[in-house]
Amino acid sequence: MDFEVEQFEHVEVDGTKYGMKIRDGIYLPNGVNNLSYSKNFKLRDDDIFLSSFPKSGTTWTNDLVWLITHNLDYERSKIENKFLWLDPGIPPNIIDDADSPRLFKNHLPLQFLPDDIQSEKIKKIYVVRNPKDMLVSTFHFYKKLVKDEFTGDFQNLIDLFEQGKTWYGPWWSHVNSFTKLPNTFIIMYEDLIKNAHKTIKSLGEFLGKNLTDSEIKFLIECTSFKKMKETEKEFKNDDRHVDKFKSDLVFFRKGEIGDWKNYFDEEMSKKVDDVVTNRLEFEVNFVYEN
C-alpha cells in the first residue's frame, strides 16, 4: 500500500551538518516522517505508551516493560520487535493490524500523538533523566549520526538546549506535557540505577503484575548495562540502522550518574539549572551524583 509522504519545512541549525525538520515550532530529526500517521490512528483501551525525551533511558525501560508484559520471556525478547516505534511514521495498516496489547514508544511531543492518549484508560509510561547527563549522552549520540550529524562542540549543544532547538524540544515543554497526563507512571532514570528493585516493583504493579523478589532480580540482571552492551553489535549491524549511524557508534556508552561533571563548566551548568528552575513545571529534585 502506498502512502503520501508529508512535506516538512527544513531549517539550518547551528552545529548541525544537514539542519533539522521543523513542524509547529518543534525541531525534529530528519528521520521523522508522516506525523499524520502518529496523530490519527485509533487507540485501544489496553494500549501502552512509552514516551521520553531522547537519551533518557528509553531502551532500558523498553526492555523492562516488554518483559513484564510478556511473562519475563527473555529468550523471545532477543528476537521480538518489542514496540511500535512511531517517530519514523508507521503506516496505519501496520498499527491497526498489530495484536493487543499494543506497545508504542516515541520521542514525539504530545501534540503529535492521538488526542485520546489523554484518556484515563490508556496507560502511559514516561522516562525522565537529569538534563545534564542526558545532554552528555545526546552529544555523543549526535556525533555518530550520518543523516543528522552534529558538527558543533558541547557549548553549541548547551545553547541549542537553552533555545529549545534540540530534537523534539523544547525539553521542558516535552517533560511538562507528558508528566501531567492521567494514568501515567513516571520513571526517573536515576531511580533505575539507585533504587532498581523498588522502581521495577512499582512499574510491575502499574502494569498489573505483582512481581516476586526473584522475578525482580531476574529483570535487573537481564536488563543490566552489561547485557545491553552485548546487544550493541547486533543493533549496529541491523540493516535498518547501518545507513543511520557511523561504524564507531557507542549506543550504550556509560549508563551512569554524574558523567556531566567531565563536560560542563560553571556557566554551562548554570544555564541548565536556570532552565530547570524557570521553565520546568514538573516538580522534581534531580539526582546529579551517584
Specify the CATH number of the domain 9-279: 3.40.50.300
DSSP 62-91: HHHHHHHHTTT-HHHHTTS--SEE-TT---
User: 82 vs 33, which has greater pLDDT?
Assistant: 33
Residue 180 pLDDT: 98
Whether 2 has a pLDDT exceeding 50, the answer reads no
Per-residue pLDDT tens over the stretch 98-108: 999 999 999 99
Structure letter (DSSP) for residue 249: -
Which of 121, 263, 241 lies closest to 272, judged by CA? 263
User: 187 vs 232, which has greater pLDDT?
Assistant: 187
- Per the prediction, the chain carries an average pLDDT of 89
Whether 77 has a pLDDT exceeding 90, the answer reads no
Distance CA 192, CA 62 (A): 13
Distance CA 44, CA 164 (A): 33
Per-residue pLDDT tens over the stretch 169-183: 999 999 999 999 999
The answer to whether the beta carbons of residues 54 and 167 sit under 8 Å apart is: yes
Whether 51 has a pLDDT exceeding 70, the answer reads yes
Distance CA 183, CA 135 (A): 28
Assign 244 to helix, strand or coil.
coil
Residue type (1 letter), 148: D
Strands ordered across the beta sheet of 9-11: 9-11, 20-23, 26-28
Whether 205 has a pLDDT exceeding 70, the answer reads yes
Residue 237 pLDDT: 58
Residue 246 pLDDT: 47
Whether 283 has a pLDDT exceeding 60, the answer reads yes
Cell of 159: 545553547
Q: Which residues contact 250 (CB under 8 A, 6 or more apart)?
A: 140, 144, 232
DSSP 5-46: PPP-EEE--TTBSS-EEEETTEEE-TT---HHHHHHPPP-TT
Residue 169 pLDDT: 92
Q: Which residues contact 28 (CB under 8 A, 6 or more apart)?
A: 8, 20, 21, 22, 167, 168
As to burial, measured by CB atoms within 10 angstroms (0-12 exposed, 13-18 middle, 19+ buried), residue 176 is middle
Q: Give the residue ranges of DSSP H helices in 49-153.
A: 58-69, 74-77, 92-97, 131-143
Q: Which of 20-34, 79-93, 223-237, 240-254 has the lowest mean pLDDT?
A: 240-254
Whether 290 has a pLDDT exceeding 90, the answer reads no
Per-residue pLDDT tens over the stretch 106-158: 999 999 999 999 999 999 999 999 999 999 999 988 877 757 778 899 999 99
- Give the pTM: 0.90
